[in-house]
Each structure stands twice: as C-alpha cells, then as structure tokens.
Amino acid sequence: MKKIVVLGSINIDTILNITRLPLPGETMAMHDRAIAGGGKGANQAIAAVRAGAETSFISKIGQDHAADFMLNTFREDNLDIDHVTMDEKAGTGKAYILLDDKGQNSILIYGGANQTITVDDIHNAEATIKGADCVISEFETPIPATVEMFKIAKANNVVTILNPAPAKTNIPEELLKLTDIIAPNETEAEAITGVKVVDEDSMELAASKMHALGVKTVLITVGSKGSFYSIESDKSGFVNAFKVNAVDTTAAGDTFIGYLAANLEHDLSNLESAMIIASKASSLTVQTQGAQNSIPYKKQLNL
C-alpha cells in the first residue's frame, strides 16, 4: 500500500447553481444552493485514500462548526488527521462556487485557517513525511510550508508532486527545483510559462519551459480532452479522457492528482498507466455535483 502525505487546504464549499456566469453589474437568480466539503488539499487527500493509499493530511481548521463537519468527513474515510491542527483566530476556509448549466465552474476562495500553516507545522509532521512514498501540495496554503515539506521529502527519496493551483506567475525557483512532477491545467501552465496551451505542440513547448525551470516530469491536464505528459530527455505522450456527460467539474483535477499518486511507482515507470486510472476516476467525479462527495472509491472504477 502506497503511503501519501498531502499538504493543503480545507474549505467548506457553497455551490450556487446558475444558468450561466453573470455579466459585470448583472443580478441573477440561482436555481439552487448546496453545501459540501472541499479545498484542494482535502480533495486530493480524500482521492488518495479512496484510491487505496495510506494517506496523511497536513492542514489547519478554524474553531467553528465547519471544522467539525470536515473532521467527521475525514474520519469516515479513515484519513490520518493527526497533523490537522486548529487555529483559534482564523475561521475554516470557505469556497463559493458558481456552477453553470454546462457543468463549468468559477470559484472564489476565502483562505482562513489555510493561510496560517507554518514551517513549524511541517517540522511537526517530519517523521510522517520521511516515511511516505509521495507528497503532494498546491497553492491554497503558504508556499514556505510547501518548500519545507519538499526539502524533507527530497532528502529522504520521497517523490514530490506540485499542483500549481490556483495559478501563479512567479513560483519560487527553489520550489520548482524540489519538484519531481508538476501538474498544472492549461490555465496554470500558461501562467507559469506564458505559452497558451491549445494543442499538443503548445503543450510540448510549455513543458519544455517547465523542464528548463528544473522540473523533470510535467503533466498538463486539459479537461474533457485528457492529459499530456513530458519526461525530460525521455518521452512525451497524451492520455485521452473518458467521454462522459459532465454535471460538475469541481474536484476533477484533485481526483486526478490523488489517484495518480496512489497508483504511481516510485521510479515513475508506470506514469502513463497511472494517468489512465486517474483519468477514469476523474470521469466519475464530474458526473456528480459537489467536491468530496463526488470523488469515487477504487471499487467504483471497475478496473
């Protein structure tokens, strides 16, 4: 069983169902509203544990009812939350998701307790990080904490996966050099490289620029089309997405990351097959509204 450590965010998602995104200054009525667990880190951790990996989560919550709701969710999945701690001042993170009739979304984030994670929190989880096969982080928590986790991981031969989301244009060079696999979507890849990702040629160009920044393996997810991979000085390829009717794309990328990590061999020799499994899991996620409730269990993949 793979051992995964995820550093990342916890959010309570408020999902607002609308016909289309509003225009500037426009007032619109909603079809419906729902509350669900979310946060990129929490989604990725739940995806990894549902994929069959022994998964530990490093995060922070507020001292509120939202925290109780999230902790109960984690316990139901047997997620290791020994390193999920409480901040007495900041509230639990929140996300407000505008979901249109085509299943596309726009998301607004309140960081809250997620933004109070420190390097000390990483040091407190050092033994867990050292014992992992793979660690994952993203950008909904402070970058210094991610750098410190990746330093510990690299010193102990642990694979590092960076999901550079939300998109940032100036990622610290130190972090990129500590990253084994970077996994942006097309928007995030453009923010990093300046290359507009529209086809395989532009994916190759974007990947080459990320290789030049120090990352050996690049994965670019492109929604319903699939995912591209490039291993520096070795090979590249494309994995087609499974064709389904999408209801809500929230957490699809997080499901992909969690399932990828749970199925990836340490030497990345099975990268393409792990991407296929991750793509299958994501195709199930998008068929249900919500984030964590839509992430499938391994048995649902029928692989």
52 is an annotated ligand-binding site residue: no
111 is an annotated ligand-binding site residue: no
* Distance separating alpha carbons of residues 100 and 211, to the nearest angstrom: 36
To the query of whether residue 121 is one of the catalytic residues in this protein, the response is no
In 3-state terms, what secondary structure has residue 14? strand
18 is an annotated ligand-binding site residue: no
208 is an annotated ligand-binding site residue: no
243 is an annotated ligand-binding site residue: no
179 is an annotated ligand-binding site residue: no
What backbone phi and psi angles, to 5 degrees, belong to 227?
-145, 145
**Degrees to nearest 5, angle at CA 192 with 188 and 198:** 60
Q: Are 195 and 207 in contact (CB under 8 A)?
A: no
* Distance separating alpha carbons of residues 65 and 86, to the nearest angstrom: 12
Q: For residue 15, which amino acid is it? A: I
118 is an annotated ligand-binding site residue: no
103 is an annotated ligand-binding site residue: no
**Residue 250 is encoded by which pair of tokens?**
């929230």
226 is an annotated ligand-binding site residue: yes
Instruction: Give, in order, the Cα–Cα distances in Å from 237 to each of 61, 140, 190.
Output: 39, 29, 19
- Choose, from 68, 201, 254, 267, the residue flagged as catalytic: 254
282 is an annotated ligand-binding site residue: no
250 is an annotated ligand-binding site residue: yes
223 is an annotated ligand-binding site residue: yes
In 3-state terms, what secondary structure has residue 235? strand
Q: Are 256 and 279 in contact (CB under 8 A)?
A: yes
**Residue 35 is encoded by which pair of tokens?**
């509350």
240 is an annotated ligand-binding site residue: no
Helix locations, the chain, DSSP H: 40-50, 65-76, 119-124, 126-130, 143-155, 173-177, 186-193, 200-212, 252-263, 271-285
194 is an annotated ligand-binding site residue: no
**Catalytic sites, residue numbers:** 254
Binding residues for K(+): 248, 250, 285, 288, 290, 294
Binding residues for substrate: 11-13, 39-43, 140, 254
Binding site residue list for ATP: 185, 221-226, 253-254
Binding-site residues sit at: 11-13, 39-43, 140, 185, 221-226, 248, 250, 253-254, 285, 288, 290, 294
